[in-house]
Amino acid sequence: MNHASDLKKQLLSIHRKSYPAYKSLKGVYDFGEYTLSIDHVQGDPFASPSHVTIRIPFSVHRFPKDLYKTPETKAAFEDHLLRRFASQIRKFSFQAKGSGKSGLLSVSSCGQEILSRTACEICTSKDSTLIFRFHIGFPANGRTINATELEKILFDFLPSCVERGCLYRTCDKKKLTETFELAEDQTFIRKEIHRLGLAAFVADGSILPRQSGVSDLPMKDGVAFSSPESLRVTLHLPHRGSLSGMGIPRGITLIVGGGYHGKSTLLKALETGVYPHIAGDGREYVITDESAVKLRSEDGRIIKNVDISLFINDLPNGRDTTSFSTLDASGSTSQAAGTVESIEAESRLFLIDEDTSATNFMVRDTFMQQVISREKEPITPFLERAQDLYEKAGISTILVAGSSGAFFHIADTVIQMDCYHPVDITEKVKTLCKDYPLSPSSPAPFRMPSAKRIFARPSKKQADRRDGKIRQRSKDVFSIGKEEVDLRYVEQIKDSEQTASLALLLGYAKDHYSDGKKTIPEIADLLYQELKQNGYSGFFRNSYIPGGYAIPRLQEIHACLNRYRGESR
């Protein structure tokens, strides 16, 4: 390992040389309290900035190991430190001058959710080394190296950022303790809802509305949530103490109410409740079964060999729906496939909003049944499968409805949102249902879909192609070679860094698991377990681990594999 003084000498030797001479700086340097690794050097000052890593040993950072002893507290600890580090380097970004991206200092930007990111990592399995991965725009005048400005970044700015943002002795210990305690309380609630037979918990006092459709911050003066007495549950958290809120039982729950009264707002909070949230978000005590999946229609999506026969059968052209494929699915077919794929992904809770669902997939009213007989209708609506999904497969449903009353007849719990206040109207609805009976129906017997789809070996032509470069197009769209994967309607992807991870995992699966034997669920589980146990080291074996990746859930890994046009069969 080189010493920091060697880096200074090297900087002096390349000052005012052509920009590619910066590549000679690649390597690891000892700065005393930490090591600096220059992992990748940009090609010119206008290209994507250079990748660097700092590693701080436990003997220097001294953060107590109890703060990150569990996966949940570790994620919260890393998130907390990443936000601190980001606030420090932002102060120095572009303080060093030059052309293009010269002087840029950037690191992953955190949202309201707490996600495990490569940008900050505490190595609990080894020596508790604290790692930060970030970017620096190496300065230049035109395309001529300005080593004096880079020296300022590496020897003045970075040591200040480490001192103020990365060490226990300089941190706000009260805020750090609060972060740790919130993580433990959130974990406790998540375990309690399973023990109590709940699908979700929404604490009294939660602020569910957001500032706007493009801001995830809590709405100022938003209506505080208050549970109806009949659904109120009081939990005794290890740090906060008693906390009351609405417990949504497992089974079929209907959320109803007039327009703009908060139905979809509640569902959106439940949708994001699969992730922990930071203090002050307003949803930090909104906890949903971590396997919950938001289902919706996706006109035009690809479906490959999915057994949708639970919902769609007896097509007029005689096509087999036990292994159905299409490159351009309709709304109902796409929602049927998404439901089956979520069963494969081990989801225990479906979240559905009538507004984004295919009507003919969800329900058929009495009049339509009289006009179009069952023999002429290949779709068995979700209405007729929801109870079996819960009773025979253990999958609950929380559904927002505003136009069809048919679901009242199968709902175990009915919540009316009235000016953002929930009201339990279950008993009232059950009484009214006696006066408005459903027409008798006789769907085909319930049968769990087959989950034996193979992620097949690519053909020789595909294997020989050299067009497998991964490019991220947007927050939720990426391409591998010429194949685009569109995840816009996978609504529980919260961050572009999760999409980056999904692209990485899909590329890895193509290269390592496409042996013609493994099923999509098997591959998804292999990828997820590797991530959980070893992080990203297994996916970057011959290279450095860059910042810019966040761990997705198992359910989103399934969704990604299922939306790839490639080689499944």
Within this chain, do residues 195 and 132 fall inside the same structural domain, yes or no?
Answer: no
Which residue, 116, 111, 112, 91, is CA-closest to 103?
Answer: 91
Q: Of 125, 143, 171, which residue is a domain's last? A: 171
Query: What confidence tens digit (pLDDT) does each residue in 295-349 have?
Result: 999 999 999 999 999 999 988 888 899 999 999 999 999 999 999 999 999 999 9
Dihedral class, residue 388 (left if φ above 0, else alpha if ψ from -120 to 50, else beta): alpha
Furthest-apart CA atoms within the chain: distance in Å:
89
Question: Would you say residue 568 lies in a domain?
Answer: no
Within this chain, do residues 261 and 190 fall inside the same structural domain, yes or no?
Answer: yes
pLDDT at 457: 57
Question: Would you say residue 66 lies in a domain?
Answer: yes
Within this chain, do residues 362 and 394 fall inside the same structural domain, yes or no?
Answer: yes
Pairing of strands 303-306, 396-400: unpaired
Which residues on neighbouring strands pair with residue 200, listed in sequence order? 248, 288
pLDDT at 1: 86
Share of the chain above pLDDT 70, in %: 96
d(Cα 168, Cα 417) in Å, to the nearest integer? 46
Question: Would you say residue 61 lies in a domain?
Answer: yes
pLDDT at 38: 99
The mean pLDDT of 65-84, rounded to a whole number, is: 98
DSSP letter (8 states) at residue 329: -
Question: Would you say residue 307 lies in a domain?
Answer: yes
Q: What is the DSSP string of 493-548?
A: ---HHHHHHHHHHHHHHHHHT-SSS-BHHHHHHHHHHHHHHHTTGGGSTTSPPPS-
Within this chain, do residues 153 and 230 fall inside the same structural domain, yes or no?
Answer: no
How far apart, in Å, are the Cα atoms of 483 and each of 325, 404, 447, 555? 17, 39, 34, 21
Domain count, the chain: 3
Q: Of 171, 202, 231, which residue is a domain's last? A: 171
Query: What is the span of the domain harbouring residue 538?
Result: 460-562
pLDDT at 447: 93
End-to-end CA distance of the chain: 49
Query: What confidence tens digit (pLDDT) does each residue in 78-121 have?
Result: 999 999 999 999 999 999 999 999 999 999 999 999 999 999 99
The CATH number assigned to the domain holding 304 equals: 3.40.50.300
Pairing of strands 27-30, 477-480: unpaired
**Is the pLDDT reported for residue 58 higher than 90?**
yes
Within this chain, do residues 163 and 211 fall inside the same structural domain, yes or no?
Answer: no
Within this chain, do residues 355 and 406 fall inside the same structural domain, yes or no?
Answer: yes
Q: Of 384, 419, 450, which residue is a domain's last? A: 450
Q: Give 451's pLDDT tier (boundaries 50, 70, 90).
A: confident
Query: What confidence tens digit (pLDDT) does each residue in 527-542 have?
Result: 999 999 999 999 998 8
Within this chain, do residues 351 and 259 fall inside the same structural domain, yes or no?
Answer: yes
Query: What confidence tens digit (pLDDT) does each residue in 335-352 have?
Result: 999 999 999 999 999 999
Within this chain, do residues 345 and 257 fall inside the same structural domain, yes or no?
Answer: yes
Q: At what angle do helices 496-512 and 520-534 cross, to 10 degrees?
A: 120
Per the CB < 8 A criterion, the answer to whether 293 and 350 are in contact is yes
Within this chain, do residues 143 and 188 fall inside the same structural domain, yes or no?
Answer: no
Within this chain, do residues 214 and 299 fall inside the same structural domain, yes or no?
Answer: yes
Which residue, 559, 407, 561, 413, is CA-closest to 480?
Answer: 561
Q: Give 452's pLDDT tier (boundaries 50, 70, 90).
A: confident
**Is the pLDDT reported for residue 461 higher than 80?**
no
Per the CB < 8 A criterion, the answer to whether 363 and 407 are in contact is yes
Question: Would you say residue 567 lies in a domain?
Answer: no
Within this chain, do residues 358 and 438 fall inside the same structural domain, yes or no?
Answer: yes
398 token code pair: 């929380």
Within this chain, do residues 477 and 415 fall inside the same structural domain, yes or no?
Answer: no
pLDDT at 568: 45
